[in-house]
Amino acid sequence: MKRLAMAATFALALSLGGWSPAAAQADSDTVPQSADLHAAGDAGDGAADAPETENPAPEDPGDGEDATDPGGGGESTDPDEGDHGSDAGEGEDSADPNDGEDSADPDDGADGGGEDSTPIDASFSLDQKTMPVDEAAEAIPYTITGLTAGDRVTASPGEDGPITVDSDGTFNGSLRGNSEVKVGDVLSVTVTVDRDGQESKTFTGSVTITAADDDSDGDLSVDPKTQGLDTFQKNGVGITLSNCVMDEEVTFTVTREGEDTPIWEDTQFAAGEDAAGFTTFIPDAGGDELVGDYAVSASCGDTTEETTFSVTADDAADADLTVTPKTQSLRDFLDSGVTITLVNCHVDSDVTFRVSTKHDPDTEIWSETQKAGEDAAGSVRFTPEEGGGGWATEFLVMATCGDKSAETTFTVTDDGSAIDPKLSITPERISGTDFIDRDKGVELTVTECAPDTDVQFEVYSAGMEDKLYEQTAAADEEGTAGIQVYGLGDDPAHYVGTYNVRATCVDTSRDGQFVVTGSETGGGGSGDSDNAGGGASMPRTGAELTGLVAGSLLILGGGAAIALARRRSLN
C-alpha cells in the first residue's frame, strides 16, 4: 500500500532560503407583480432561478485596459428605443430624462439617499399602441421592468395617484378614468418612477384611439378580434354563435385566411337566453408562425355564419435587456453577482444569456438558457464561482429569444480587495528514493495570499479523479503558507506517478502538479511512469485512517513524534 504524509510548515523564511520540513499528523426577477392599480391581466410567475453553472474566470480580462465607465460604448440603448410606447401613427418615442445615459455612479445626483439606493435602470412600454375607444376608456395597460420595492409609479392621464411598488421586478399597471377619449384621438401617456435618493425617471408614449370593434358578422362573434401573439397562445379566442335553437348542435371551424383546410374544429350545443353555442380556440403549438389572419365558420341547423380574427406580433416589441446593478465593486460582484433580465419575448420561448468581456467579446465566460415565463421574460443571476482581480473589468451581455436579440454592459470596479496568490511546487519532479526521505519530499508553497488567512492544500490523483489528501496551513503576515509532502513507505516504487495539487486562498484557487519518478535523480529513467501510482497510496487525514492496517498507523504516529521532538529541540 502506498502511503505518504504531509507536514505543515509555517512562517517560511524564503528570503533566508530554506525549509524546515517536518512530518505532521494528517489531521466551500423578475418576480412579475400586479400592483393594486387595476393591473392589465394577471402577472405571471417570475422566471425560474438560474441553475448553478461553472464559470471559468477570464485570464485577467482587464489586463492592459482600464475598466471603463458602464455608460460607455456598447451600452444598452435607451429603454424607450425599439418603439416602446411610441405613437403608432406619429412614431413618437418615449423620452429618457437622462438623455441616453445608461448608468450613473450610485453617489452621483443622490441628495442624502441611503447607501443601498441605486440609480433607476428601468424600461417602459405600452401594451397596445392602438386601442378601440371603448377599451381605452376602460383601461390603458402598460409595463415597467427593472423596478425596486419601494419605488413610486405615477401615471397620467388617469384617476390613480402614485402607486408604491411592493417587490422587485416587473410592474404591470393601467391608466383608468379616460372616459372622454374619442375616435381619432392620440392620447399622450406619461409615467414617472421615483426612488428615494435618486433622480426620478419619466417615460412617455401614446395610444391611437380607433373605432370600437365590430365583433360580429350576423350572429357570429369572436373575442377579441385582434390580439398579440403571447395573449393568443395563453388565452386563445372566444367564438360565439347565437340565435340557434335550444340544445341544437353548433359546429365551429377555424382555418388560416385564404386556406380551405381546417386547423381546428369543435362541436357544442346551444344554450342560454340567446340559444348560443360558445367555444374557445387555443392553439396547440406556439411560435411566430401563429401570427396572421384566421377565418371562422360556425353553423347551427340551416344557418352558417363566417367572420375573421387576427393575431399580431405587437406583444413582440423589441427585446429589452437589463443588468442590475450596472456598476459595482469587485467584492460585491464576487459575493452577489448581477441579475440579467430580458423582456418582450414569447411565453415558453427559449431565452439565452451570454457573458463575455467587453475587450474580448468572442470569448464566452458564461451562458445560460431558460424558458420565458408567463410575463414573456427571462431572468438569471450570474455570480462567478472563483475570485480574483481578473473580474474587475467591463463585461458585455448578450441575450436572444426567437428572432430577437439585445446587448448591454456592466462594470466591475477594482476596490483593492483582489488577491492573486501564487503556487510553487519544489521540486516538480522527484525520484521515489528522495520522495520517501522525510528530510526531502516535495514542498507546496502559496505566496501573495491574504495575511493571517487559512490556505487549503489538496492533493489529487492524476486527472483530478480522486482527492487523496488535504491539509490547511495559516498564511503568515506576508501572506505565505506551505506544507511538505513525502512518502511514509519504504518502497519508492509504490509512489511512482503524477500527482495534482490545488491550493485555495480565500476564494481563489491555483493548480499545479508534481511527478514521482522511478529513477534515482528524479529526471526519468526506465522506471519512470507518469501513469503509475498517484492513487490510493497517498496519506489521508486522521479521520480517514480508520481503514488502514496497524502498521500504517504506527508509521504515521512515529512521524508525529518526530515532528514534536524537532519543535522542542528548536525552542
CATH number of residue 297's parent domain: 2.60.40.1930
Predicted pLDDT at 428: 94
Return the residue matching grid coordinates 528522495: 434
Rounded CA-CA distance 152/173 in Å is 12
**Mean pLDDT on 505-517:** 88
What is the band of 392 on the pLDDT scale with cuts at 50, 70, 90?
A: confident
Q: Is residue 438 part of a domain?
A: yes
Whether 563 and 441 share a structural domain:
yes
The answer on pLDDT for 538 being more than 60 is no
Distance between CA 328 and CA 233 in Å, rounded?
39
pTM of the model: 0.34
Model pLDDT, residue 530: 40
| Domain endpoint, select from 312, 342, 375 | 312
pLDDT at 563: 35
Q: What is the mean pLDDT of residues 30-56?
A: 39
Q: What is the pLDDT of residues 76-126, one digit of tens each?
A: 444 344 343 334 334 444 444 444 444 444 444 434 444 467 899 888 988
Regarding whether 436 and 566 lie in a shared domain, the answer is: yes
Q: Is 161's pLDDT higher than 90?
A: no
Listed residues 312, 334, 362: the one ending a domain: 312
10 vs 483, residue with greater confidence: 483
Domain contains 427: yes
Residue 245 forms part of a structural domain: yes
Looking at the domain assignment, is residue 267 inside a domain? Answer: yes
Give the range with max mean pLDDT: 81-85, 453-457, 532-536, 540-544: 453-457
Q: What is the mean pLDDT of residues 504-529?
A: 72
Would you say residue 435 lies in a domain? Answer: yes
DSSP assignment letter at 271 = B
Half-sphere exposure of 133 (CA within 13 A, CB side): 11
- From CA 480, how far away is CA 281, in angstroms rounded? 71
Q: What local confidence, expressed as pLDDT, does residue 513 receive? A: 92
308 and 423 share a domain?
no
Q: Determine, yes or no, domain membership for 505.
A: yes
Are 423 and 307 contained in the same domain?
Answer: no
Highest mean pLDDT: which range of 28-32, 204-208, 281-285, 424-428: 424-428
Mean predicted lDDT score pLDDT of the chain: 73
- 522 band by pLDDT with thresholds 50, 70 and 90: low
- How many domains are contained in the chain? 2
Selection from 257, 249, 313 nearest residue 279 by Cα: 249
CA angle 339, 120, 93 (to 5 degrees): 105
422-450 mean pLDDT = 90
What are the tens digits of pLDDT across the range 458-505?
888 888 878 878 889 999 988 899 998 888 888 888 888 899 999 988
Last residue of a domain, one of 312, 342, 368: 312
> Which residue range forms the structural domain that includes residue 441?
4-27+419-570
Does residue 543 belong to any structural domain of this protein?
Answer: yes
Over residues 536-556, the mean pLDDT reads 29
Is residue 367 situated within a structural domain? no
Q: What pLDDT does 523 receive? A: 53
pLDDT of residue 372 exceeding 50, the answer is yes
Percentage of the chain modeled with pLDDT above 70? 68
**Does 536 score more than 50 pLDDT?**
no
Residues with Cβ < 8 Å from 405, sequence gap 6 or more? 319, 398, 399
136: pLDDT confidence band, cut at 50, 70 and 90?
A: confident
Q: Of 250, 280, 286, which Cα lies nearest the Cα of 264?
A: 280
| β-bridge mates for residue 368, sequence order | 353
Residues 281 and 423 in one domain: no
Q: What is the pLDDT of residue 129?
A: 84
Q: Are 558 and 439 in a shared domain?
A: yes
Q: Give the DSSP H/E element, type plus range, for residue 231.
A: helix 229-235
Q: What percent of the chain has pLDDT over 90?
A: 28
Query: What CATH number is attached to the domain comprising 469?
Result: 2.60.40.10
